[in-house]
Amino acid sequence: MYFNMRLDRTCIFLFMNIVLVTSAREPSCQACSRYDFEERLLERVLRNELVIETMLKETRETNVKVESAIKLLHEDRGKLADSLNGLEKSNTEMDTEMKGKLQGALKNMSDSLAFVEHLQEEMGTKLDNTIKTVMTNISDALAEMTQNASITGLQLKKENEILKDQLTIPFIYFHAHTPAAYNLGYGQDVVYTYVRVNEGQGYDTKTGIFTVSVPGLYLFTVHYNVYSSTYAYLAINHQGTQIQPSFYQQMGSGYATFSMQVFIRAAMSDKIWVESTYSDTRLHGNGPHNSFSGALIHV
């Protein structure tokens, strides 16, 4: 490139000199000398050469700047090509990555949809089974409730019949006298052998015990007779518990008669009797002087 510029400068310089020589001519004035003409021609040539040198210098400077600009342009072009290559590679990688991620997402979505469908199907099956189970349980519960209601109805009917029977049962009462033994030890039961009345058949002449056949409130009374200088300790017993005790110690002469009574709320099959609470209880008198009686006064 430098050789071309030098050739261009030489060509321009020759062209300018040719133009100047051609255009230069001798002055028309006879007085002007040839020396003066050549001096002015040389001056012009020098001035033109100076101008040409200046132009060449500026041209060289411009050429340097152009070369620098072209070099920078080539560098920028290389960088741009690298950037474009990198961008293209990045786009390719991004496309590949996006395609991979998109395919993965689509696969995951497909798997999720399949799982949801399977879950819905399974839940539907479980729901159907649950509904069937619940319906079966409800049917069983209804059947059991119906059976229980039937049993309850039968029980209520039976209880009503019992209540009706109780309402229609006549009064329960008894009166017994004449003990089987007059000398009694501690804890010995008094057995009254003669029964005047035994409505309801609750009193037993063999044991001396009254057994409750209708629950309710009863009144029991004991009447006993004692001879002089003797002891008598008796008590009305309910289910093994002394409810009403009584005692007498006769130190003088003659006879004495005593009685005791008690209210007892008795349940079905409860037992009430009279027993001795002393080791040497002695009774006296025949017939109704010693008696045991009871009556149902409220159901």
| C-alpha–C-alpha distance, residues 107 and 101, integer Å | 10
Gyration radius (Cα) of the chain, Å:
74
Q: Which two tokens stand for residue 181?
A: 């033994």
Average pLDDT, the chain: 83
pLDDT tens for residues 28-57? 554 456 678 778 888 888 888 888 888 888
| C-alpha–C-alpha distance, residues 186 and 148, integer Å | 52
Percent of the chain beyond pLDDT 90? 34
Domain ranges of the chain: 1-135, 173-298
Distance (Å) of CA 194 to CA 179, 183, 227, 267: 8, 18, 21, 26
What's residue 142's pLDDT? 82
pLDDT tens for residues 147-168? 887 888 888 888 777 776 656 6
Q: How far is CA 37 from the centre of its chain?
A: 126
What's residue 15's pLDDT? 58
What's residue 3's pLDDT? 45
pLDDT tens for residues 218-231? 999 999 998 878 88
pLDDT tens for residues 183-210? 999 999 999 999 999 999 999 999 999 9
Pick the CATH number of 173-298 from 3.40.1260.10, 3.10.180.10, 2.60.120.40, 3.10.129.10: 2.60.120.40
Q: Which two tokens stand for residue 215?
A: 């629950």
pLDDT tens for residues 67-106? 888 888 888 787 888 888 878 877 788 878 888 888 888 8
What's residue 209's pLDDT? 97
Amino acid at 190: V
The torsion angles phi and psi of 7, rounded to 5 degrees, stand at -65, -40
Q: Which two tokens stand for residue 131?
A: 């509904």
